[in-house]
């Protein structure tokens, strides 16, 4: 073979090897990129689309319900039943309680827990029995991380619209049994969906050995405003003894991302102002279990 031909074939083989190696590197890079994209979509899908059978809120989302007139104002109920119905704790100390409703929710509860852990702050979680059954591992995590669990009914009905005394008892007992199976105690604290109750329902809850926990500060996070608005709703209205209403759960179409972000503003600001975060039982000096 002539020298020119040897040089020519050497160049051809070299070029082929070069393109092959380059192609492998590109494919490998593409696989990594696709892997990153896939991971991002998996995370998004996990948040936006909880697993099949995710229990929705029986009474519907907060917005249309909370816009309605309350059957009996919480302040009136607190005045009528001062040993049963609570809106806040003592104003003698700069202590406040963060409370979260409608969980456990696999899209948001873990992120709320992460923020609370970051600031070493305890919370009180009013859980739905149906969601506790669906996600017992999240319930266990809430308990293991030192937070208190309360009862928020089983399927989140509007107790005033569609319940009688018997239905209330069924809803509360079913949720209580579900929670007891997971955490090993029967909660002493109850929060009604939407804050809606009337006299007879409060009296029945008292018979069932529950304390009813309302709130003195509403973050209005259920409106899904920007984080700074949610934070302002809390910070502008907080006072010693405050019970702060927030949500770690939402309906199927709801989003609590802004709630999570707002905690990064609310917690350090109140800590800088000298407030101590405690659980509701600590704030009220009551037991958390029956």
Task: Report yes or no on 290 lying in a domain.
Answer: no
* CATH number of the domain to which 71 belongs: 3.20.20.370
Residues 44 and 168 in one domain: no
What are the DSSP calls for 73-118, one per residue? -HHHHHHH-TTTEESB--SSS-EEEEEEEEE--TTTHHHHHHHHHH
The catalytically annotated residue of 101, 105, 111, 221 is: 101
Q: Is the pTM of this model over 0.85?
A: no
Closest CA to 261 of 135, 114, 140, 142: 114
Q: What is the pLDDT of residue 191?
A: 98
Chain segment 235-278, per-residue pLDDT in tens: 999 999 999 999 999 999 999 999 999 999 999 999 999 999 99
Tokens linked to 271? 């800590």
- Phi and psi at 68, nearest 5°, equal -85, 165
CA angle 157, 200, 186 (to 5 degrees): 60
Which three-class secondary structure state does DSSP give residue 30?
Answer: helix
Chain segment 183-194, per-residue pLDDT in tens: 999 999 999 999
Residues 90 and 221 in one domain: yes
Task: Report yes or no on 55 lying in a domain.
Answer: no
Range of the domain at 38: 1-49
Chain segment 41-79, per-residue pLDDT in tens: 223 334 445 556 789 888 767 666 665 656 789 999 999
147 is catalytic: no
Residues 124 and 17 in one domain: no
Residues in the chain: 290
Residues 112 and 39 in one domain: no
The catalytically annotated residue of 147, 156, 188, 247 is: 247
- Phi and psi at 110, nearest 5°, equal -60, -35
Task: Report yes or no on 217 lying in a domain.
Answer: yes
101 is catalytic: yes
């Amino acid at each position: 073979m002539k020298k020119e031909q040897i040089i020519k074939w050497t160049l051809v083989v070299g070029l082929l090897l070069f393109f092959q190696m380059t192609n492998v590197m590109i494919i490998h890079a593409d696989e990594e990129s696709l892997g990153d994209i896939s991971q991002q979509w998996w995370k998004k899908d996990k948040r936006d689309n909880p697993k099949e059978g995710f229990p929705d809120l029986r009474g519907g989302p907060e917005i249309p319900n909370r816009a309605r007139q309350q059957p009996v104002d919480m302040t009136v109920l607190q005045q009528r039943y001062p040993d049963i119905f609570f809106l806040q704790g003592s104003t003698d100390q700069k202590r406040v309680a963060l409370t979260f409703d409608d969980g456990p929710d696999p899209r948001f509860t873990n992120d709320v827990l992460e923020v609370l852990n970051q600031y070493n702050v305890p919370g009180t979680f009013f859980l739905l029995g149906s969601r506790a059954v669906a996600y017992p591992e999240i319930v266990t995590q809430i308990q293991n991380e030192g937070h208190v669990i309360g009862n928020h009914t089983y399927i989140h009905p509007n107790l005033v619209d569609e319940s009688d005394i018997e239905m209330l008892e069924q809803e509360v007992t079913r949720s209580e049994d579900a929670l007891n199976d997971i955490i090993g105690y029967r909660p002493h604290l109850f929060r009604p969906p939407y804050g809606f109750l009337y006299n007879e329902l409060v009296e029945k809850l008292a018979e069932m050995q529950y304390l009813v926990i309302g709130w003195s500060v509403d973050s209005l996070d259920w409106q899904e405003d920007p984080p700074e608005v949610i934070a302002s709703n809390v910070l502008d209205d907080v006072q010693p003894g405050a019970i702060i209403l927030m949500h770690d759960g939402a309906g199927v179409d709801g989003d609590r991302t802004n709630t999570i972000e707002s905690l990064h503003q609310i917690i350090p600001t109140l800590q800088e102002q000298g407030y101590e975060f405690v659980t509701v039982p600590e704030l009220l000096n009551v037991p958390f279990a029956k």
